[in-house]
Structure 1
Amino acid sequence: MRNLIRYSSILLMFLMFSCGENTEKKSEKNNTEEAQTETETQDSEKDVILFFGNSLTAGMGLEPSEAFPALIQNRLDSLDYDYEVINAGLSGETTASGKNRINWVLNQDVDVFVLELGANDGLRGIPLEETRKNLQDIINTVKDKNPKTKIVLAGMQIPPNMGEEYTTEFRNIFPELAEENNLELIPFLLEGVAGDPKLNQQDGIHPTAEGYEIVADNVWSVLEDVVEKE
């Protein structure tokens, strides 16, 4: 609890002013038409896992290769799973802004959709029913786009700045939505990391590379069963 309270004062100030960072990826062309055709064929056969979230998913303050989606890709590759991971995290994202961009993100086929949003809502005191509705709308959009897409919801907790009732009800949004929609749930994305200065960057909010190793373990503990079922 002491760690969570210490974590709260920094977390509240920083995420209120966090700004988005866009990362662009450039594709490389193969030297021959034959090699290019082969690569496109291989890519088309891979299932896609899309991580949709805020700065925690984006890996703010670190190299993209150190964020937990990249670590999940490394683990999948090491286990010979034929999946492509896409990091669609955007710093400063709220559930409302996420709802506004979800259709654009779903312009590609997605086999597994990992939803990590809500922390910025809670820290800004956004009404809980609005957060719940936005998350439900995102879930509905994913299901409407492709009913076969597996959805994993990342649970989040916030410090007690907004009062015990708000904090408790916020935490309960995620397991309740998971149960209502028959989704897989990561109980708390930052379990074992939040509030530990040794595992967070100087802002006290975003995990270090070492911290993201633990976050990746939290994600994999749930995601492993999902990808095995694909």
Structure 2
Amino acid sequence: MANNKVNMSRLRIWGLILLASGWMACGSGSQKKEAQQEVAATNKKLADKKLVFFGNSLTAGFGLDPEEAFPARTQVKIDSLELGYEVINAGLSGETSAGGLTRIDWILQQKPDIFVLELGANDGLRGIPVAETRKNLQGILDKVKAANPEVKLVVAGMMVPPNMGPEYAKDFQSIFPELAKTNNATLIPFLLDGVAGERSLNLADGIHPTAEGHQMVANSIWKYLQPLLGSR
């Protein structure tokens, strides 16, 4: 009986997806949005696993509606494939690695099955010693693994502007592949690959992506996330 209910729910999702697809061709913007929201709500009821994006303003979607940020765009991809994951955006604007280390215990109440660490950029912009940033990020990963030894870890790489000096920039960039190797984590070499430095893909501050930029980020990181999510 339980399996029949799940199957009926999955059929309902596909029906909604097909309906949403039809509206994308001829429906109004509000109709399309309502259909997408209903698909997401139905899939959320079936989701039994959690994917947490833990980061700063890049993850939070600074300057945009939450649904435009790359975590929400990732949820859309997951919903369309019925992969059974709920995406949690745990981004906080201005967050440093030290702040993340303090905040992680609260986030771990979500019991993530996949944990994406996107922190360090604000450390780099402030010139915080690389060793300190590395120590804090390792501390976060240690707490995540202690909470769930089976968790799948992802480390999102970041770079700093050249005005921080070539030696600092090189040492900073090395943090992320080293963490990934040490913790057997999947490495996203550079979160903003193809987006950073592109004026049309960033807000006026030149740092935070536009909605289009976030879609590009979601598309580029998908190849690293999809193998971890499994298949229907």
Q: How many angstroms apart in 2 are the aligned matches of 1:223 and 1:81?
A: 12
1:115 counterpart (95, 114, 117): 117
Equivalent residue for 1:127, pick from 126, 129, 136: 129
- The answer to which structure, 1 or 2, has the higher relative contact order (CA under 8 A, 6+ apart) is 1
The 5 Å alignment of 1:16-35 reads: none
Q: Structure 2 unaligned runs (5+)? A: 1-40
- Given candidates 72, 97, 100, the residue that maps to 1:98 is 100
Q: Which residue of 2 aligns with 1:69?
A: 71
Equivalent-residue separation in structure 1 for 2:177 and 2:103 (angstroms): 24
Find the aligned partners of 2:210 and 2:93 in 1 and give their Cα distance: 16
Secondary structure of 1:107's match?
helix
Instruction: Kindly report which structure 2 residues correspond to 1:125-204, keeping only aligned pairs within 5 A, or say none.
Output: 125-204=127-206
Deviations 1:160-193 (A, max 9, x none): 1221000001001100110111100100000000
- Name whichever structure is richer in helix by fraction: 2
- Alignment match, 1:21: none
2:47–2:86 contact (8 Å) kept in structure 1: no
User: Structure 2 CA distance, aligned partners of 1:109 and 1:124?
Assistant: 31
Structure 1 CA distance for aligned equivalents of residues 149 and 45 of structure 2: 22
Letter in 1 for 2:227: D
> Is 1:209 aligned with 2:217?
no
Task: Report the Cα distance in structure 2 between the residues aligned to 1:228 and 1:45, rounded to whole angstroms.
Answer: 13
The secondary structure found in structure 1 opposite 2:110 is coil
Q: Map 1:2-21 to 2 at 5 A.
A: none
Work out the percentage of aligned pairs sharing the same amino acid: 60
> 1:186–1:218: 8 Å Cα contact kept in structure 2?
no
C-alpha displacement of 1:43? 3.8
Give the residue type in structure 2 aligned to 1:155: G
The CA deviation at 1:45 is 5.0
Quick one: distance in 1 between partners of 2:196 and 2:114? 26
3-state DSSP of counterpart to 1:61: coil
SS in 2 for 1:52: strand
State the distance in 1 between where 2:176 and 2:220 align.
Answer: 15
Partner of 2:34: none
Q: 1:229 to 1:111 in 2, by over 3 A?
A: farther
> Which of the pair has more CA radius of gyration?
2
Q: Distance in 2 between matches of 1:56 and 1:149?
A: 23
Alpha-carbon distance between aligned partners in 1 of 2:55 and 2:125, rounded to the nearest angstrom: 15
Q: Following TM superposition, by how much is the alpha carbon of 1:224 offset from its aligned partner in structure 2, in angstroms?
A: 0.6
CA distance in 1, matches of 2:111, 2:159: 30
Counterpart CA distance in 1 for 2:216 and 2:46 is: 31
Structure 1 stretches of 4+ with a deviation exceeding 4 A read none
- 1:227–1:51: structure 2 CA closer, same or farther, 3 Å change rule? same
**Superposition RMSD in Å:** 1.7
Query: Aligned partners of 2:136 and 2:150: how far apart in 1?
Result: 21
Change (3 A) 1:130 1:194: same
